[in-house]
């Protein structure tokens, strides 16, 4: 805490910031949330609440502030309605489900993982029911040989079919690897794609960020999870690199539904933490700072130089799967004009304490202090530790031209 206060005192009034590029800029005046700006919709897979009824699941989803639900086959509708969430329910039951959803402010968007049979007549029956229920996407694990017929129905009804990946060890594992999904989608319309289960990828020994990259352009929906030792945990606290996954989906321009799904024990607090994590990262990814291309933000450090204002920036680095620090040069006469920017970071998560914490693989600049011939850079690591990196005072201080001699990772020595 002493170091943090020292940074604030020494930097206060020393650097000028432009309101046009400040990371704390207010949300857009149209009132949309950051998730809405990204066209991302957060909901839950009702399978998370499989020990409850569908109506009880809807209640919890609504109480947590989510607006979307993915129905799964076979859940009891309610304590008072002895019917199951699947094709074949009566029109009266469908009407009661729709009324419950409307009164709760929750929208039914997806259904799965559902069996879509190779028999066209039986498959059509499922599509007809899904259309009546207003379902956008059916998650399935249909045989690849049946997909041309299913694709024809998907286009006819305007309903997507997303191929779901169970773990490699599972009996229903034909789409466990993204390459298998891509092979199955060859020659088919964009109505056929992937329902990504990020937790099952980790259970199959795959890197979820790399798997997302492979499926670019074919991702329709997500069963979004974070795992630790094979068990579901709040997003951002496990081994799935949740923040990097969101950054990758932002890079791809993905638009769609994130279905939160727990297959192991959970508490309300666990689910609430996932919701909080999601919206906090959406704020970071929504690109509120005025930067070409978005995906990064102005940091808390600036140096006034003859050639411009040297600004420490922070943002996603996709190949590293991390939130890193770079430098940018701003025009002194026009504070909204970016002259140059480093492509590669000068500081990024390297050590275990920078990669594991409340938000893993994250570095955020807090303050820069000249002291006894050294730059003392104070930064947050993994949203858990306050760290200090030191570099020679001559670096970045003198008037220069451009960023040819900007700071590099080799200039700093780190310590917690």
Give the CATH number of the domain where residue 376 resides: 2.115.10.20
Query: What pLDDT score was predicted for residue 30?
Result: 53
Domain shared by 330 and 200, yes or no: no
Which residue among 285, 320, 336 closes a domain?
285
Query: What pLDDT score was predicted for residue 219?
Result: 98
Domain shared by 55 and 179, yes or no: yes
User: Which of 164-178, 294-308, 310-324 has the weakest average pLDDT?
Assistant: 294-308
Domain shared by 71 and 142, yes or no: yes
Instruction: Determine what percent of the chain is predicted with pLDDT higher than 70.
Output: 84
Which residue among 227, 253, 285 closes a domain?
285
Domain shared by 321 and 257, yes or no: no
What is the distance, to the nearest Å, from the Cα of residue 135 to the centroid of all Cα atoms in its chain?
23
Domain shared by 82 and 109, yes or no: yes
Closest by Cα among 191, 183, 316 to 251: 316
Find out whether 1 and 372 touch, Cβ atoms under 8 Å: no
pLDDT at 2 exceeding the cut of 80: no
Domain shared by 185 and 275, yes or no: yes
Domain shared by 281 and 298, yes or no: no
Domain shared by 251 and 319, yes or no: no
Would you state the structure tokens that stand for residue 398, as one six-digit string? 């003198």
Query: What pLDDT score was predicted for residue 297?
Result: 79
How many domains, in total, are found in the chain?
Answer: 2
Give per-residue pLDDT as tens, 220-243. 999 999 999 999 999 999 999 999
CA–CA–CA angle 66, 249, 293 (5° rounding): 115
CATH number at residue 125: 3.20.20.150
pLDDT at 55 exceeding the cut of 80: yes
Domain shared by 362 and 241, yes or no: no
Which residue among 239, 256, 285 closes a domain?
285
Query: What pLDDT score was predicted for residue 409?
Result: 59
Q: Which whole number is the average pLDDT over 111-139? A: 96
Domain shared by 75 and 216, yes or no: yes
What is the extent of the structural domain holding 388? 2-25+289-415
Domain shared by 247 and 137, yes or no: yes
Closest by Cα among 366, 359, 395 to 226: 359
DSSP 364: E
Buried b (16+ CB within 10 A) or exposed e, 102-112: eebebebbbbb
Domain shared by 240 and 263, yes or no: yes
Cα separation of the two ends of the chain: 13
């Amino acid at each position: 805490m002493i170091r943090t206060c020292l940074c604030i005192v020494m930097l206060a009034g020393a650097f000028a910031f432009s309101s046009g590029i400040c990371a704390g800029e207010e949300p857009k005046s149209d009132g949309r949330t950051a998730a809405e700006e990204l066209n991302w919709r957060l909901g839950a897979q009702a399978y998370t609440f499989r020990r409850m009824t569908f109506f009880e699941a809807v209640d919890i989803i609504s109480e947590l502030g989510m607006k979307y639900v993915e129905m799964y086959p076979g859940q009891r509708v309610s304590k008072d309605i002895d019917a199951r969430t699947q094709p074949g329910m009566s029109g009266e039951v469908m009407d009661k489900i729709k009324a419950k959803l409307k009164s709760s402010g929750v929208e039914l968007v997806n259904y799965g993982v559902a069996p879509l049979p190779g028999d066209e007549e039986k498959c059509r029956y499922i599509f007809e029911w899904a259309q009546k229920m207003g379902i956008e996407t059916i998650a399935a694990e249909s045989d690849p040989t049946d997909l041309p017929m299913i694709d024809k129905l998907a286009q006819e009804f305007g309903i997507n079919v997303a191929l779901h990946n169970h773990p490699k060890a599972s009996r229903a594992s034909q789409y466990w690897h993204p390459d298998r999904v891509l092979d199955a989608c060859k020659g088919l319309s964009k109505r056929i794609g992937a329902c990504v289960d990020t937790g099952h990828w980790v259970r199959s020994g795959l890197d979820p960020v790399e798997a997302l990259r492979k499926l670019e352009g074919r991702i329709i929906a997500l069963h979004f999870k974070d795992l630790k030792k094979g068990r579901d945990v709040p997003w951002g606290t496990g081994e799935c690199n949740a923040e990097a996954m969101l950054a990758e989906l932002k890079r791809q321009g993905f638009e769609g539904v994130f279905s939160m799904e727990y297959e192991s024990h959970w508490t309300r607090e666990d689910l609430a933490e996932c919701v909080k994590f999601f919206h906090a990262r959406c704020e970071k990814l929504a690109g509120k700072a005025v930067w070409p291309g978005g995906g990064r933000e102005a940091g808390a450090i600036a140096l006034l130089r003859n050639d411009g204002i040297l600004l420490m920036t922070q943002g996603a680095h996709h190949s590293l799967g991390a939130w890193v620090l770079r430098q940018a040069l701003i025009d002194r006469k026009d504070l909204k004009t970016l002259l140059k920017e480093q492509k590669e970071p000068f500081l990024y998560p390297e050590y275990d304490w920078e990669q594991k914490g409340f938000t893993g693989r994250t570095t955020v600049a807090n303050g820069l202090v000249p002291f006894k011939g050294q730059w003392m850079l104070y930064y947050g690591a993994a949203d858990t530790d306050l760290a200090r990196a030191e570099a020679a005072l001559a670096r970045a201080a003198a008037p220069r031209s451009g960023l040819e001699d900007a700071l590099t990772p080799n200039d700093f020595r780190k310590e917690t």
